[in-house]
A and B are shown apart, each in its own frame.
Chain A
Amino acid sequence: MITDNYILAIETSCDETAAAIVKNGRELVANVVASQIESHKRFGGVVPEIASRHHIEQITIILEETLSQAGMQLDDMDAIAVTEGPGLVGALLVGVNTAKSLAFAKDKPLVGVHHIAGHIYANRLEKEFEFPLLSLVVSGGHTELILMKNHGSFEVIGETRDDAAGEAYDKVARTLKLPYPGGPHIDRLAQEGEETIDFPRAWLEEGSYDFSFSGLKSAVINKLHNAKQKGETLEEKNVAASFQASVVDVLSTKTYQAARKHNVKQVIVAGGVAANQGLRAALKRKFEGEDIELLIPPLKLCTDNAAMIAAAGAVAYQQGHRAGWDLNADPSLSLERYAKRSLK
């Protein structure tokens, strides 16, 4: 007999303190996120020590809210899942030690989850996976193409060689003096503007699914500086539209090529930049009328949350993965190393 399982997950890898409960890996029962963005805004970016301080202030409040939203008790949970990496080490540590304590106090299995595996699995809350599938992960810290042949198997077939797409957005936004975080502002401006400047696209060598955004970033910054020195004014919205066109062109084209090459059934977009309207539109155009299903999660599941950690944790739990009391935060945990971890 198959019984329902409930996973309580915790996510504190950056500047959101989050907890969630997911039923059978696919059904969202409760989802609570406390964002610290207002606190970090004044510094123009996330200050790690401040993030850690907020996490410890918030964590039990968030947990309590999650259980009450679900109308459940800690005793009703089948396992506790937590993001073990990658992320800010001090921030991760709050989540990891909280999860260990809950699991220890209530004698529950403990499951460690990779943050990016979580971003991918956010999509399973919307639609069941069909393998093989390809996932484009784009966020402040990541730009990766990941091939999945089964649940829990992750093969990185392309990644950024320098800046993540989100980083390039942040730096360009700063040069344009847009408020932090800059990504959504560029996306908004880009919708209003036109591609008037031909910024470079880094295709890299033939057949490579890797990315590079530092050249583009420099080109945008130089263009703005040169214009300023000559006393010319560039239309901000057109700069944003031209920059975004370059990023989106490379991301969507490489994703399409990789999807064709590996004969995937589904393409999943994951991570914070998946909220970008320009990227969503470009991918929709690319896969229109194709036999490959394109999955883009709703906005609330694109940014960091714990529901995605619970969804990935549910699979890891069912596959028999268990973390010990010595589970640690791993700020640079790679997806492939995570996928190869042994069953405990």
Chain B
Amino acid sequence: MNVLAMDTSNEILGVAVVKDGETAGELITNIKKNHSVRLMPAIDQLMKETAMTPSDLDRIVVAKGPGSYTGVRIGLTTAKSMGWALNIPVVGVSSLEVLAYQGMFFDGYICPFFDARRGLVYTGLYNQEMQLVKAETNLLMIDWLEELKASDKPVLFLSPEIESHQEAIEEIMNDKAVIPPKTLHVPRPSALALAGKDKEAGPLHALVPNYLRMVEAEAKWLEQQGKK
């Protein structure tokens, strides 16, 4: 089975081609440049180098968020319409789960997170089997840490934005927090392919981003409706 995986949900751009469970090629950049301009050239390059044509693909796996709304949509739009054109299944995997794979061998809980500005984070809690033990959520990092500090096992923190939250993590979690070196905080598209390899692809038209947040205008509108 040939899998094309793509992740543009945050600042890191990742594309992987996995053939029968083996990584044939993987491309990762962490350079804060426009995903819309760079994603398709990256796919094109990697497909050529791995001697693949679009019709060789059996499945597409895409990181569906949370993350930057625009970033998530670029990846998901690409995966969805390419899958539709090729008539192959497209699987969306949580961007947090992809990042959690970086802690696969950690004996404890894994907490991947993305910065969501103003002290907020998108996060969730995974166990070593990559099962979600605390649902994905969007909340203040300090509230989340208060929730995690009672954990019965150590917690591994993973995030491309780890530096801006490291102090709070260490202060609240004490010795329960484990923070690996910076290079390990980059989600890998080959892990995305692995995560989506056996997941069931739902109906393609229904594949939408996992925003984890309502549009502000809509939230306000709903609030006003409630007051009426």
Binding site for B on A (CB under 8 A): 42-43, 47, 49-50, 52-53, 56-57, 59-61, 63-64, 74, 89-90, 93-94, 96-98, 100-102, 104-107, 324-326, 328-329
Contact = CB atoms under 8 A, between A and B. Distances in A.
Contacts, number: 102
Interface in B56-96: 69-70, 73-74, 76-82, 84-86
The 3 lowest CB-CB distance pairs between A and B, nearest first, are A105-B85, A325-B40, A101-B81
A239 B78 CA distance: 49
B77 A93 contact: yes
B209 interface: yes
A42 B221 contact: yes
Contact of A56 (B39, B40, B76, B216): B76
B69 to A, nearest CB: 6
B163 interface: no
A328 to B, nearest CB: 5
A171 to B, nearest CB: 19
Interface of B: 34, 36-41, 43-44, 54, 69-70, 73-74, 76-82, 84-86, 204-205, 208-209, 211, 215-218, 221
A66 to B, nearest CB: 12
Contact of A93 (B73, B81, B215): B73
Nearest to A97: B77
A52 B217 contact: no
A325 B35 CA distance: 12
Contact of B34 (A53, A63, A90, A328): A328
Contacts of B40: 97, 100-101, 104, 325-326
A12 B80 CA distance: 16
Contact of A94 (B54, B77, B79): B77
A97 B44 CA distance: 14
Given A47-B217, A52-B73, A93-B74, A60 B80 contact: yes
A61 B43 CA distance: 24
Contacts of B82: 101-102, 104-105
A250 to B, nearest CB: 34
A52 B69 CA distance: 9
Contacts of B69: 49, 52, 90
Contact of A74 (B34, B43, B85): B85
A50 B215 contact: yes
Nearest to A96: B36
Nearest to A91: B73
Contact of A63 (B39, B41, B76, B81): B81
27 contacts: A43-B221, A49-B69, A53-B215, A56-B73, A56-B77, A56-B209, A57-B208, A59-B77, A60-B81, A60-B204, A61-B205, A63-B84, A89-B70, A93-B36, A94-B77, A97-B36, A97-B40, A98-B78, A101-B77, A101-B85, A104-B43, A105-B81, A105-B85, A107-B54, A326-B40, A326-B41, A328-B36
